[in-house]
Amino acid sequence: MRNKKIVRRCSVGLLGVLLLLLIFYFFYNIEKKIPNEIKLVVDKKESFDFNMPMEGMIETDNIGVISVNNLKVPSNQINIDLNEPFTLESSSTGKYNISLKLFGLFNFKNISLDVIETRELIPCGTPIGIYVETDGILVLGSGRITGKDGLNYEPISNKLKSGDYILSINGVKLNKKSEMIDEIQKSGGTDITLKVRRNKEEITVSVTPVKTPSGEYKIGAWIRDNTQGIGTLTFVSGDGQFGALGHGITDIDTGLLMDVRDGSIYTAEIMSIIKGKEGEPGELIGMIRQSDRYRIGKITENTFQGIFGTINGEYEETGEGPLEIGLKQEVRKGRATIRCTIGDATNDYDIEIENIDISNANHSKGIVLRITDERLLNQTGGIVQGMSGSPIIQNNKIIGAVTHVFIQDSTKGYGTFIENMVNNLE
């Protein structure tokens, strides 16, 4: 009898777990299929088919602006059935909100509907040298210091953290490591006050420098004030803006997105190629022409979607002219191309888009692609470091940019949707 009760309880428990897993999968599937944001181009009809048991309601004061299934809706509350295919069109730019209800009853999530003007971009695919200076002095970590008395000290222990930015010492603003070192020496070993930015908030900490056997004063902080590297220019816009990389510049030691104070992009020359193979990503080895003569743009933003800024007026892109952007709902599995520079030539290479995730769960990994062009495979083995930012083109539209390579398969990688990058231009 007792065994039967135990079996019954175990069965009920197992059914409960299975039910929870089914509910979790149901909601996870909805999140994967329905994006947090939808973009439309003004006066252009877009088709959608989410096949989900949900109803959406668009609230707008601009009555008659939005059309659903080719019908102008004379109401400030426009209903959409997401269980059936539907079309959306707007005669006016603007931002709207779509409120989703599960089974038409329960509030589930909100979608941002952004109607924009038609935008054309020049897809580039050219290598660039990148140099940025941090906004403050970046703390990488801490270490022990041997003082003049022979004892070990850790002055910043429990005071500074990896990823902090030191903005000033005793009220003196810092831009370079050398300035920070000078201020520490001036202290003569007395307490110094550091203004620090941590997770977008500013705090102050007091640190006592330690005198070393050489007579220098140190606080035991590993620091960085700049970084540089090779990447790919994704696009140039008609109004002189550029986007590159498709992902942000992160610090190699902390893995965090770097706060950038200033930066520039320069022309670069690819000198050699390390081919990618299983478990070992390849790399484009290049030379940055870091002088004013070869400076082609100023970096103004470092974001999770890439780096952005203004292009020099005299910079001329030798591409085939501008292309319309393709929004993520236009991206299809199948053939596409990427544009990149290998050696001295910029070419379009065949790829296959194998998977599309419009959910915005990860802005830099919405597209899974595979290199199919034998020319590129023979030269690089697939996607290599330095190709991040290579524009993805499908149906004569620029739809995205390459962002990452699969470590275990260099022929495959991720891409971001171009609309994620365009968001940073608006």
The set of catalytic residues is 247, 373, 388
Phi and psi angles of residue 260, each rounded to the nearest 5 degrees, phi first: -100, 130
* Number of residues that this document lists for the chain: 426
Give the CA count within 13 Å in the CB-facing half-sphere of 212. 13
Name residues whose C-beta falls within 8 Å of residue 251's C-beta, 6 or more positions apart in sequence.
Answer: 138, 140, 163, 224, 227, 258
Q: How far apart are CA 109 and CA 131, in angstroms?
A: 40
Phi and psi angles of residue 186, each rounded to the nearest 5 degrees, phi first: -65, -20
The tokens for 8 are: 């019954």
Instruction: Report which secondary-structure segment, H or E, holds 209.
Output: none
Amino acid type, 128: I
Q: How far apart are CA 319 and CA 381, in angstroms?
A: 25
The alpha carbon of 75 is separated from its chain's Cα centroid by a whole number of angstroms, namely 38
- DSSP label at 372? -
